[in-house]
Amino acid sequence: MAALTEPAPAKLNLALHVRARNADGYHDLESIFAFVDFGDTLHVAPADTLSLAIDGDFADAIIDDDNLVLRAARALATAAGRPAAGALRLKKRIPVAAGLGGGSADAAAALRLLARHWQLDWSLARLAEIGAGLGADVPACVHGRLQFGTGRGDRLTPLSRPDLAGTPVLLVNPRTAVPTGPVFAGWDGVDRGGLDPAAPLAALRNDLAAPAIALASVIATVIDALGRQPGATLVRMSGSGATVFALFESAAARDSAAHALSVQCPAWWCAATRLR
């Protein structure tokens, strides 16, 4: 078996409506999942045992038995009835606890990559079923395309929005990690209405922005800074934060904004990319 590589594109919630808090502690969500060209990269080489090495900008992620890449590998091996084996190496570029689904994207990449490496010839739908046991965002990340999610975000419908494909995007994170649990706990419980996936994005919202900003007020500063950039057509927090994304009318406007923010706020993390 040859060495193989698999991208793990970052996830964006172009909109995220929280509809209800359930007795089990989970929430009913409606979200538009999108993916960008920027992300992590996972490699595998033949080996007799399973191992994982991490490098890259955010390589300080903990490597232990709870790492989502290793959990995904073991779950796939169990489902396939074979040993979990392969020397995995993750190039970690997505910030941690950033609302970009980094851990879920890595787990999804592990499922796709090892299915190829082990020559399983399984469909993405079958891999997504395994991913559902790893986290609510993993099935969306397995498919890695524009989707409308309901339930916990794991009931997925492919979404066609030709107006969005290739749109320039700037991702900005103030290097503040915002834990998901406290953000959801801070939601005020008000159902502000359903999400029409065909509606203009400006008519939609992220219901987790207010509780995230209550925990990390710098998110509001990022939203304001991006909103003042020429050519920005939509500015919104992704997921439970703290990353904020801006869609731009052109790549030139996006790159100009990235340069301006790198000068004005050099401590912030920025990534210029586009919607897949």
Residues with catalytic function:
11, 137
Which helix (H) or strand (E) covers residue 51, if one does?
A: strand 50-55
Q: Helices marked H in the chain — which ranges?
A: 68-80, 102-117, 124-131, 138-143, 180-185, 209-215, 218-227, 251-264
Say how far residue 228 (Cα) sits from the centre of its chain.
Answer: 25
Among residues 18, 24, 17, 27, the alpha carbon closest in space to that of 152 is found at 27
With tokens 């869609």, the residue in question is 247
Cα gap 106→134, rounded to integer Å:
11
Closest CA to 92 of 56, 67, 62: 56
* Beta carbons within 10 angstroms of residue 243's beta carbon: 27
Q: Which of 30, 156, 153, 177 is nearest to 94 (CA)?
A: 177
Helix, strand, coil % over all residues of the chain, rounded to 5: 30, 30, 40
The DSSP code sequence of 127-149 is HHHHHTTT-TTHHHHHHTS-EEE
- C-beta separation of 46 from 86 below 8 A: yes
